[in-house]
Structure 1
Amino acid sequence: MVSTDTGFTPADGYAGDVTPEQAAQWMADGQAVLVDVRTDAEREWVGYVPGAVPLAWKQWPGMAMNPGFDDGLRAAVPAGGKAVLLCRSGVRSIAAAKRAAELGIEAYNILEGFEGHPDADGHRGRAGGWRFRGLPWKQS
């Protein structure tokens, strides 16, 4: 559960977890840079958050680590700034947040990700996530 006092829940290895709504508010207020760590294919086919920095944690196809992730993250987040990291369901973004913390960046994982977890029928987008919560997004 996310603390209502701070807007996030502390986590081991990175600053904490935030709800999609809190991440959207921080981004809108200029308090954080939203970094979308999904693949280019995911953003293109499923949708993206306007104003987010597209920076894949792993690359399609094969899901190999993105060798430019560290440099891209340092370029995206100003010194002393904070990053909120978004993936499909909030799993890859945890790993990316831990890496960001190792680089000295105050990093938060966005709970539920862009599409949320699968429902009973195995479909995403119906049980949480950025898109499900009605936050700003577009599709190509």
Structure 2
Amino acid sequence: MTKALKSLSEEASKDVEQVSTKEALSLFKEGNTVFVDVREDHERAGSGTIPGAVHLPRSLLEWKLDCGDPNHRPEVFDAVRPIFFCGGGGRGLLSAKLAQEMGVTGARNLNGGFRAWVSFDGPLV
């Protein structure tokens, strides 16, 4: 049986905490939060990202989260509060769900993604 994207997103929404932009900005200022940018290189070009964000393109996420892979990114596992984000929120949600399944404790999603962050005047680099 195949699952439609809508079904996958609904399932992920039940398991992944959504972080509002206001809350994300507050957590950003406090520290101890790792923002994980799952956008592809071409999406990030020219638009910037959240300062200090770890770049794990969605297309490579499984490999970057696999502890046995030479390109593994341990800082995501070590984070107190990992918050995943994409352009609008959908891929960030699915990425956070996948990260949870791969052992990342407390993986969350930035509701509204990078566009919401920019609209809220969040800092950029």
TM-score, normalization by structure 2 = 0.74
Partner of 1:86: 85
Partner of 1:70: 65
1:111–1:73 distance in 2 versus 1, CA, 3 Å: farther
1:92–1:41 distance in 2 versus 1, CA, 3 Å: same
Residue segments in structure 1 that go unaligned for 5+ positions in a row: 1-10, 59-64, 116-128
Structure 1 contact 37–86 (Cα < 8 Å) conserved: yes
Partner of 2:9: none
1:80–1:33 distance in 2 versus 1, CA, 3 Å: closer
**Structure 1: which amino acid aligns with 2:96?**
A
Structure 1 contact 39–57 (Cα < 8 Å) conserved: yes
Identity, in percent, stands at: 31
Larger relative CO (CA 8 A, sep 6+): 1 or 2? 2
Q: Are 1:36 and 2:37 an aligned pair?
A: yes
More strand by share: 1
User: C-alpha distance in 2, partners of 1:56/1:111?
Assistant: 18
Q: CA deviation at 1:66?
A: 4.3
Partner of 1:112: 112
User: C-alpha distance in 1, partners of 2:42/2:79?
Assistant: 31
Residue segments in structure 2 that go unaligned for 5+ positions in a row: 1-12
Count of aligned positions:
108
User: C-alpha distance in 2, partners of 1:110/1:30?
Assistant: 16
Question: Could you list the runs of 4 or more consecutive aligned residues of structure 1 that deviate by over 6 angstroms after TM superposition?
Answer: none
Partner of 1:13: 15
Q: Give RMSD over aligned pairs.
A: 2.1
User: C-alpha distance in 1, partners of 2:74/2:50?
Assistant: 19
Partner of 1:53: 54
1:80–1:35 distance in 2 versus 1, CA, 3 Å: closer
1:30–1:104 distance in 2 versus 1, CA, 3 Å: same
Q: CA deviation at 1:25?
A: 1.9
Partner of 2:95, secondary structure, is helix
TM-score, normalization by structure 1 = 0.67
Counterpart of 2:118 (choices 120, 125, 131) is 131
Structure 1 contact 73–100 (Cα < 8 Å) conserved: no
